[in-house]
Amino acid sequence: MSNPSVDAPAGVPKVKRTWYHTTLFNAFVIGGVGFIAPGLWNAMNSLGAGGAQEPYLVNAANALVFGIMGFLCLFGAPIANRIGLSWTLFLGTVGYPVYSAGLYTNNRYGNVWLVLVGAVTCGFSAGLFWASEGAIALGYPEPGKRGRYMNIWLWFRTGGPLLGGLIVLALNHDSNAKAKGKVSYETYLVFVALQCIAAPLALALSPPEKVQRADGSKVVIKAEKSFKAEFKALFASSMRKDILLLLPIFWAAYFNQYSSNFQTYYFGIRARALTAFVTNFGTLLSSQLISTLLDYKSIPVKKRIVIGYWYVVAWHLVAWIYGWVVQEKYTANPPSYDWEDKGFVEGFFVLLLWDFARQALQNWLYYLVASKADNISELTRFSGILRGQESFAQAVSYGLNTQKWVGGRVPLAVNTILLGLAAFPTWLVVRDHVPAEPDSPADTVPRLAEESDSNVEDGLARSDVLSSGEKEKFAVGKTNVGKDSAI
């Protein structure tokens, strides 16, 4: 089924858009896969320790997941550029149900080996998933709509933890779940069944060359001719001065995995289930706010990135100062809170603020990295580097949190120092950054479809038309990537 052709400005051919090749449909595909696979994985881990009674085995398994994932994220870009994003996304889903099955057998029978096997398979899959997902979510939409589509992607991916948190809460809400312990084993069976749906859904993704944007522009592809050439291109991207300066913030962004231990130390089962469910609303709000800023067309792209930087810094200061104050209080007198207890809200806000600040940083980082590329092949490499380094950081953080730190001061200190060290080199990149894409829709291509304001794929104004020479330049990916491209 295709949409009928629409009137276009003079000199521009009429275009028929097929619904399953539109950017919106593909946003729903990538969002749906993110909802089911990593979304439900996040739901389990947002419980603290994957729902287990103690965090140490699951933290060790997650360290294995993210260690493998880091390499696959980094080297997944050449793979994705050679075998295609659809097949990469498909392979990126198959390991998640194995991981959930391992947690089920451990919860019910005390089995350990399947947890570790699941961690390995999930690590390989997750690496390929993240190498492809970021490039799809940011490379398929028009440059002026990246923040909006990133938010759609995030809403879906956070929908997984919301659904998972609701399932966990429904199965673990009675009075028997007031104390510390582990969630019921039935919880994992639901997760395994749902995660098996992700693989066939991934095959519905359109290849980049078939994507039909609302404004008629094409997704620019610059794939190399061989794996060797792809790895050379990856090395060149990794050695860029701006990317090297961003490495500390890539590590700092997701280094805080102590939040999992924090929950198991200080909250009962149903309090953990409620926290895992409710904090997702804070994540969604955080994503909505930063995405609105990053797509605010009245402000130039560079200025949005600068404002976003200080916005993220402000929220991290609030979150970590508050976290330190509460942690010191809990170190002196360790509590065990149920949601009915008076002090529950105080500890809950530590987790809420950590997640809020972290989500703002991740959205901003993805937007910054996306603004450095004018083609999806390079964007795949950048997002792979970003997610790969985040994964290495998470592997180290989970390894750090396999230890039972008295009072949590060591992981909190490491996180605080890392964030502090990352601030200045990140600012240097922001200060010197030249976005690869134009500042406004008027600098890109003409509108080819008349759509209402409520449509998420609203077109460009008819008067916003480039010359044929300028349009050809954009279509084949010849736009300048700016001074950040050189080391």
pLDDT of residue 175: 59
Q: Tell me the longest C-alpha to C-alpha distance in the chain.
A: 74
- Measure the CA–CA gap between 410 and 146, rounded to whole angstroms: 38
On whether the CB atoms of residues 409 and 306 are closer than 8 A, the answer is: no
- Measure the CA–CA gap between 302 and 432, rounded to whole angstroms: 10
Q: Is the dihedral of CA 295, 299, 302, 306 positive or negative?
A: negative
**Phi, psi for residue 291 in degrees, rounded to 5:** -70, -35
Higher pLDDT, 220 or 392: 392
Nearby residues of 438 by Cβ (< 8 Å), 6 or more positions away: 143, 444, 479
Per-residue pLDDT tens over the stretch 122-152: 999 988 888 787 778 777 887 777 777 777 7
On whether the CB atoms of residues 109 and 161 are closer than 8 A, the answer is: no
Residue keyed to tokens 């104390």: 179
Q: Which pLDDT band holds residue 182 (cuts at 50, 70, 90)?
A: low
Instruction: Return the closest-CA partner of residue 49 out of 261, 271, 273.
Output: 261
Per-residue pLDDT tens over the stretch 256-297: 777 877 888 888 878 888 888 888 888 889 988 998 898 888
The CA-atom distances, in angstroms, between 52 and each of 48, 66, 110, 188, 424 are 8, 19, 11, 11, 39
Q: Which of 31-45, 116-130, 162-176, 327-341 is least confident?
A: 162-176
Query: Which stretch, 62-66, 230-234, 303-307, has highest mean pLDDT?
Result: 303-307
The CA-atom distances, in angstroms, between 470 and each of 108, 222, 466, 482 are 63, 19, 6, 17
Q: Tell me which DSSP letter residue 333 carries.
A: S
pLDDT over 50 at 464, yes or no: no
Helices (H), 336-478: 344-370, 376-400, 409-432, 468-475
- Measure the CA–CA gap between 109 and 105, rounded to whole angstroms: 5
Average pLDDT of span 174-195: 70
Q: Please state, as a whole number, how many other Cβ atoms lie within 10 Å of the Cβ of residue 53.
A: 13
Average pLDDT of span 171-190: 65
Tokens at 378, concatenated: 């390079």
- Measure the CA–CA gap between 252 and 145, rounded to whole angstroms: 27
Share of the chain above pLDDT 70, in %: 79
Higher pLDDT, 102 or 177: 102
Per-residue pLDDT tens over the stretch 55-111: 567 778 888 888 898 888 888 778 887 888 889 999 999 999 999 898 888 888 888
- Measure the CA–CA gap between 479 and 222, rounded to whole angstroms: 13
Q: Which pLDDT band holds residue 438 (cuts at 50, 70, 90)?
A: low
Average pLDDT of span 425-441: 80
Q: Which pLDDT band holds residue 24 (cuts at 50, 70, 90)?
A: confident
SS3 state of residue 216: coil
Query: Tell me, what amino acid is at 199?
Result: A
Higher pLDDT, 174 or 414: 414
Q: Which pLDDT band holds residue 446 (cuts at 50, 70, 90)?
A: very low
Query: Tell me, what amino acid is at 200?
Result: P
Share of the chain above pLDDT 90, in %: 21
Nearby residues of 466 by Cβ (< 8 Å), 6 or more positions away: 443, 444, 445, 446, 474
pLDDT of residue 210: 84
| pTM, entire model | 0.69
Per-residue pLDDT tens over the stretch 2-22: 444 434 444 445 567 788 888
Q: Tell me which DSSP letter residue 82 carries.
A: H
Query: Tell me, what amino acid is at 110?
Result: G
pLDDT of residue 455: 41
pLDDT over 60 at 170, yes or no: yes
Q: Which of 259-263, 298-302, 361-365, 477-481 is least confident?
A: 477-481
Nearby residues of 141 by Cβ (< 8 Å), 6 or more positions away: 23, 27, 148, 149, 213
